[in-house]
Structure 1
Amino acid sequence: MNTGKVAVSGWLLRPATRHAWAALGVVLLATVIRAGLRNADGGMDNAIVVRAAEAWLDGRSPYADRHFLYLPGAVLAAVPQAVLPQSVLRFLVPTGVAASLVFGWGCALRIHGVAWRSRFAVLGLLALAMGFAPFGHLVRLGNWTAASAAALPLALLFVCRGRWVAAGLVIGAVVAVKPLLAPVVLLFVFARRWRALGGAVLLPAVVSVGAALVMPDPAGFFTRTLPFLLRGDDSFVRLYEASPAAILPRLGVSQGVASVFALVAAGVGVWCAWRRWRGGGAQVPRVVETAVMLMLAAFLVSRPSYDHYLLVVVPLLLSGALVPGAVVRDKWFWLALVPQVPGFTWPWLEPGTKRAFRDCVTLCVLAFTVARCCLRPGAVTLNAAEPPEAVESAVPVSRSAF
């Protein structure tokens, strides 16, 4: 039995063939071209940010559009796109999103010591691109979540190599344009890495204040966007929100009860993340599971919360498939992803406005799965005394448990 497991793991860790690389290239290229042909402006979500930059260039407030939910730094970051023709943007943006997802997958692999040229690396990325619907959604929308999907694995790679300050700066740089990764700063609090925490907090603060000072409406994020996020009463946005706070009212539950439930669930998630960190164990699983739990806890309560947010955490979990005791080896992980299989017909849920129900199922089951693993860290069998650098060499040794 163990011999077969060793053979399978060894096969996955070998360099990928040219045919596998060709298949991956075709899938990614087709995804990008399809998105470019369907969207003349690079994707609906990216267009919102570009319009905000155009408004600023015209002397108007970018926060006049209530669907612009980003920090002031995003306005300046989108200026280069605002001066490019749409014929360029329609293909440049999906290419950039796909490249960000590939980069994030590569960093996630390196966290676990897996070579990006291995068969596991190529097949795993193929599985994400072809078997995980949010991948295609994100490329088509051009949402800036792609930056977070690339930055979190990079930051955790720095953490696992002992470079906490660099990790804090990476998180801070991304939060400066979109605050999606803000919950990860609690990881620095748990670890008492105050310099890293300072970088993660001060960098976006400085960038936001500096960018706001050159806006016609410097306080627009606080006077317009923040109240909109807290109310969550936009009829269009509500149809696609996946958090329980948005889904339960659509099932007849009062908004107050739904909000309390989501807050309690998020609080339990943060507690599980804290328990996972305090539980110790091998460096890599400890860091990854704590960070992922923090993000999922935030997704449970945040408004809005979309399906493509899952791309921030799912690749990190999937990349640990060769590590004994990893979350991805739990049957509930795969059950959580079933609603996201492209082309699978779900009774009564096929219209696009009902997609959020299955996204909520995935989010809740995935959060439950990670929480279970956080509360039993002993399931990860790598030696807790190993330094971060030793984890890479430990992955092949653990093949027998695959």
Structure 2
Amino acid sequence: MAILDRYLHPQMTPQRIIPMVLWPITIMMIFHRSVILGVNGDRTDDFKPVYQAALQFLNRQPVYGENLDTVDPHYLYPPSGTLLMAPMATIDPERARWLFIAVSVLALVGSAYLLARLFGYSARSWVVPVVLFFFFSTETVAHTLVFTNFNSFVLLGMLAFMVLMMSRHDLWAGVPIGLVLAVKPIIAPLLLLPLLNRQWRILVTAIGIPLVLTAIAWPLSVDPMSFIDRTMPYLGEARDYYNSSIAGNGAYFGVADWLVVLLRIAFVLMAIFALWFLYRYYRRSDELLWLTTSSGVLMVTTFLVGALGQGYYSMLLFPLLMTVLLPGSTMRNWPAWLGVYGCMTFDSFYSVRWEAFGRQLEFNKVTWGWSLLMIAVFCSLLFRYLDMRRDGVTGLDDDAPSTTPEQAPEPTPTDAPDDGGGSQETVATVEK
């Protein structure tokens, strides 16, 4: 019977079972979100104003003359972004939109690969299908494809920037983030990270590329000053629709101005403490954890405290979520993941029986999700600091050598990522 058992009960490791289960499901989810939901579209169409602006740019017509008082999606990219978007207006709008969705899917798949590589997993590991499954199960990815906007390319540029920054290809690291900033400057706060890490050369290309593209686009645009006179003031306003920032949420629900200001100040202070603690205690000993957690703190704070925070921006938090695989992660607690559910769930809370209650949940889920996630990260770090103070170990040897990708020790077998037979080399091996 023992001889037959290996035929009747063939053994498979979890590293083989997980991809076998998730790959077919994930591929069908990608097909559904892109070919079905994406092509179907929705009442919100972020692609239409971008295509129209690109067409007007090519035809030497004004780009920034639309009525900003309506609740329809508006064209808000700077002239440098218009220049980069212009080629897609050379084909008809329907096929241009389909092509944009297809390339967005490729960008998301590329983002999943870069995220896995950033954390030391190969393309053949079980992590890639898990990451892709999580990506396409979220509201942030689904609505990025359905509304057809630029967010997937922002995520790809952000992760390429992190991978190249960790591998010390400084000038190249500035290229992807520079291209993103030329179109959508939402990740501009991340430039603080190379500044803190003394990788100055990243800023050369990160800032230089948008400046060069702007210099090229400016004389080609009919109304570039309208972006400064009309669009930029609008970007600084906290509108009361499709806005999950504290100011936008407060404007919609009629929250007192003093409370909105107090909440914004509170989250800024939480961010300052978190960034200080991460810089002081993690940058040298665990650069990957410092980089990915700090990026999440900067992005959540931007969404909450800025003038505009939309739910599908949450995909920029994927590197923070991935830190749950690392010792010392601030994501190893249930309140953080309750917050992730709030800002990334595809569930709708509209209720026929409890209409007012369901509406409140639906309109607040992203704001409280971001808020709870930020509070969980802050409290996790604060409690560590208080424990260190209690035990008198808050001092740090500032003269200790910095951990570099070449000098860092190999991870122990217990903490090393299991690739299921794939490569375990990390882009920048860090001390676990």
Conserved? CA contact 1:155–1:167, under 8 Å? yes
**Structure 2: how far apart are the matches of 1:12 and 1:245?**
46
Aligned to 1:323: 326
Conserved? CA contact 1:63–1:221, under 8 Å? yes
Which residue identity lines up with residue 248 of structure 2 in the other structure? Answer: A
Deviation at 1:251, TM superposition (A): 2.8
1:173 aligned onto 2:179: yes
Q: What's the TM-score, normalizing by structure 2?
A: 0.79
Deviation at 1:74, TM superposition (A): 1.5
Q: Which of the numbers 329, 337, 347 marks the counterpart of 1:334?
A: 337
Q: What's the TM-score, normalizing by structure 1?
A: 0.84
Cα deviation digits, residues 193-252 of structure 1 (max 9, x gap) = 22212322222122123212211112222111111112234xxxx321111111123333
Q: Which of the numbers 188, 193, 200 marks the counterpart of 2:199?
A: 193
Deviation at 1:191, TM superposition (A): 1.7
Q: Which of the numbers 96, 109, 112 marks the counterpart of 1:102?
A: 109
Conserved? CA contact 1:72–1:212, under 8 Å? yes
Change (3 A) 1:291 1:337: closer
Name the SS of the counterpart of 1:64 in structure 2. Answer: coil
**Structure 1: how far apart are the matches of 2:214 and 2:140?**
29
Conserved? CA contact 1:243–1:299, under 8 Å? yes
1:282 aligned onto 2:286: yes
Change (3 A) 1:326 1:27: same
Aligned to 1:300: 304
Q: Which of the numbers 265, 268, 283 marks the counterpart of 1:266?
A: 268
Cα deviation digits, residues 171-195 of structure 1 (max 9, x gap) = 1121011101101111122123222
Change (3 A) 1:293 1:28: same
Deviation at 1:49, TM superposition (A): 1.2
Change (3 A) 1:44 1:71: same
Which residue identity lines up with residue 330 of structure 1 in the other structure? Answer: N
Change (3 A) 1:316 1:302: same
Aligned to 1:345: 349
**Structure 1: how far apart are the matches of 2:188 and 2:151?**
13
Change (3 A) 1:26 1:211: same
Q: Which of the numbers 406, 415, 430 marks the counterpart of 1:398?
A: 415
Which residue identity lines up with residue 62 of structure 1 in the other structure? Answer: V
Deviation at 1:275, TM superposition (A): 3.0
Cα deviation digits, residues 71-95 of structure 1 (max 9, x gap) = 2122122222212223323422222
Aligned to 1:4: none
For residues 3-402 of structure 1, what are the structure 2 equivalents within 5 Å?
13=15, 17-18=19-20, 20-39=22-41, 44-65=45-66, 66=68, 67-130=74-137, 132-233=138-239, 238-255=240-257, 257-259=259-261, 261-280=263-282, 281-313=285-317, 315-339=318-342, 340-343=344-347, 345=349, 348=356, 350=358, 355-375=362-382, 387-388=404-405, 394=411, 397-398=414-415
Which residue identity lines up with residue 44 of structure 1 in the other structure? Answer: D
Name the SS of the counterpart of 1:226 in structure 2. Answer: helix
Larger radius of gyration: 2
222-231 or 203-212: which moved more? 203-212
Which residue identity lines up with residue 119 of structure 1 in the other structure? Answer: W
Deviation at 1:138, TM superposition (A): 0.9
Structure 1: unaligned runs, 5 residues or longer: 1-9
Change (3 A) 1:44 1:332: same
Change (3 A) 1:209 1:268: farther
Cα deviation digits, residues 127-171 of structure 1 (max 9, x gap) = 2312x2222111111111211111111111112212233222221
Conserved? CA contact 1:13–1:119, under 8 Å? yes
Change (3 A) 1:391 1:107: farther
Conserved? CA contact 2:42–2:146, under 8 Å? no
Name the SS of the counterpart of 1:394 in structure 2. Answer: coil
Q: For the aligned residues, what is the CA RMSD? A: 3.1
- What count of residue pairs does the alignment treat as equivalent? 381
14-23 or 204-213: which moved more? 14-23
Name the SS of the counterpart of 1:239 in structure 2. Answer: coil
Conserved? CA contact 2:26–2:133, under 8 Å? yes
Which residue identity lines up with residue 302 of structure 2 in the other structure? Answer: A
Change (3 A) 1:322 1:300: same
Cα deviation digits, residues 92-123 of structure 1 (max 9, x gap) = 22222222222112111111102232223212
Which residue identity lines up with residue 209 of structure 1 in the other structure? Answer: A
**Structure 2: how far apart are the matches of 1:298 and 1:246?**
13
Structure 2: unaligned runs, 5 residues or longer: 1-11, 69-73, 388-400, 418-431
Which residue identity lines up with residue 319 of structure 1 in the other structure? Answer: M
More helix by share: 1
**Structure 2: how far apart are the matches of 1:75 and 1:242?**
26
Name the SS of the counterpart of 1:368 in structure 2. Answer: helix
Determine what percentage of the aligned residue pairs are the same residue. 22
**Structure 1: how far apart are the matches of 2:383 and 2:50?**
42
**Structure 1: how far apart are the matches of 2:404 and 2:190?**
22
**Structure 1: how far apart are the matches of 2:37 and 2:407?**
41
